[in-house]
Amino acid sequence: MPVYTAPLDDIRFVLHELLNVETLGALPDYEDTASAELINQILEEGAKLCQEELFPLNMSGDQEGCHFDNGEVTTPKGFKEAYKLFAESGWCGVACDPRYGGMGLPHTVNFVMQEMICSANLSFGMYPGLSQGAYDAIYLHGTQAQKDLYLPKLVEGVWSGTMNLTEPQCGTDLGLIRTKAEPHPDQDGSWALSGQKIFISAGEHDLTDNIIHLVLARLPDAPEGVRGISLFIAPKFLSEENNKENTLRCSSIEHKMGIKGSSTCVMDYDGAKGFLLGEAHKGLKAMFTMMNAARLAVGMQGLGMAEVSYQNAVAYAKDRLQMRALEGTKYPDKPADPIIVHPDVRRMLLTGKAVTEGARALSYWVGMALDTAEKSTDPQAKEEAEDLVAILTPIIKAYQTDMGFEIANLAIQVHGGAGYIGEYGVEQYARDARITMIYEGTNGIQALDLVGRKLGQNFGRNLRRFFHPVSAYIEKNQSNPELSEFVFLLAKGFAKLQQSTAIIAQKGLKDPVEAGAASVDYLRQFALVAMAYMWIQMVEKAQEKLESGEGDQDFYAQKIKTARFFFTRMLPEADARFKMIMAGAEPLMDTAESAF
């Protein structure tokens, strides 16, 4: 049977020792919610919920899946009761405004909760995750009346939310949307929505009293393409008083490879009443509020899947007896040694450990930047934080989901044949993790976003928000003997990243295909350097603790050993990616379509 324990020791190390999350208390609205004591208390309670309530439903939810009958969806056994507890305990509103019933905690804390929820039960986490996206869109773009009506119910968890973008003929290319919005016959300022949406997560379920759909559609006078898209609020039930149903329905649910406890719906709108959210023809801007937040949330899903997969691989490797260690018997009292003694198993386990711990630091750093961007009253600090979030969002989403799937695959490999069967649970992690590389913009789209938009945005200012602190750190520590082995490798990787950036910018101006051909390799190269930057800072903190004799000395010593593995066995991939970028577009594009 699978195992999961929230990695609170490492979470606390990153939050309090590496990032000093308490400094968020200097921001407006966080004065009383960013203390170490409160954050630790919240996370300990959240860990209990994830371990004791959500995780036990993960495997059974996968085995049972969702049930569809005549437009209604029933979630797997136990989900409804767990969701009721989840909502009543306030977890739907961790980072939401207290004016609407939220806890008002920093987004960084919500990032931690997202990680733990996704490790425990990714399918379950989809439901409140979509509601958070709907909350964000209405909070930022809704009228005061819309906020007053919808936000308290979303925060309370008695209503849930969705995002309706995809249609049969369009996924990434939203300019192809056909769903139309016409003045509603009631002549009350609402609109009649007609069309079909597919792949709608949490589009129908039995967890809440109402489902608030955010729907992209076109007004009659809409211009072509993405400039003609508007966003609408379309509730399943139009009012609390008479429980009047809207003319929308779930016509089917998908039978999927993974996240089977999450309903993925085909939604049909037949003149359904919708209310404009934000400005007409500016729906994409409002929807990107949800999508950008969702991309970071999906990055946390990747981290969560990597963590639980890694934990199960470690548990099995310590228990499974096979052969003797290459250097001689390690456990003479046993018929064979546990497989954790073998070098290749160590390689796989350390890959999982290095990825999860490094990605956790990178993610929470971005979470703190998100808090600063939203709450700071200092225009310069706000701008810098916004730029950093912008440049790292596609990296967080793509790299962490790529690695979530890879670590899940490694967990299967560690288990051998046992990993391929359902009893041990790790094959589910691979199936569940696979979708994270696809939805909210495939990872190839994230790479295009990085090279096509984020690098040149604000005249390259976004990029400088990452490059400048890395450069400054290298310069400051290049003569530090305790960090020298790591500084040298970071500096080498960073120099190659700068070189790649310049070449992509130069070639991309002349031929966008060159930038596109380099994009995936560039994102991976960037991600590895970003991970190295976080790891070297963790090494520095660990060395300080070892020198002072404070805390768990074994914990800090292992941090340095894991960092050494990352720098010597994982960071070299960045150099290989650099060579792939240098190969240019020709090897990709010089083959005729007929040759495939």
* Separation of alpha carbons 10 and 407, rounded Å: 18
**296 in Cβ contact with 136 (< 8 Å):** no
* Separation of alpha carbons 541 and 559, rounded Å: 9
Residue 492 CB partners (closer than 8 Å, separation 6+)? 575
Q: Phi/psi zone of residue 256: left (φ > 0), alpha (ψ -120 to 50 degrees), beta?
A: beta
119 alpha carbon, distance to own chain's centre: 12
* Cross-strand bridge partners of residue 196: 268
Buried b (16+ CB within 10 A) or exposed e, 289-306: bbbbbbbbbbbbbbbbbb
- Mark out the alpha helices in 320-378 (DSSP H runs): 343-375
256 alpha carbon, distance to own chain's centre: 20
* Separation of alpha carbons 312 and 51, rounded Å: 14
Position 235: which residue type? P
Tell me the residue length of the chain.
Answer: 596
55, two tokens: 């995780």
Could you give phi then psi for residue 188, rounded to 5 degrees? -110, 20
Angle at 284 between CA 282 and CA 287, to 5 degrees: 115
Look up 550 and say whether it is catalytic. Answer: no
The active-site residue out of 115, 307, 427, 440 is 440
* Cross-strand bridge partners of residue 321: 338
* Separation of alpha carbons 139 and 277, rounded Å: 10
* Separation of alpha carbons 22 and 141, rounded Å: 30
In three-state secondary structure terms, 237 is: strand
* Separation of alpha carbons 383 and 385, rounded Å: 5
**345 in Cβ contact with 371 (< 8 Å):** no
CA quadruple 289, 140, 296, 579: dihedral positive or negative?
A: positive
Residues serving a catalytic function are 440
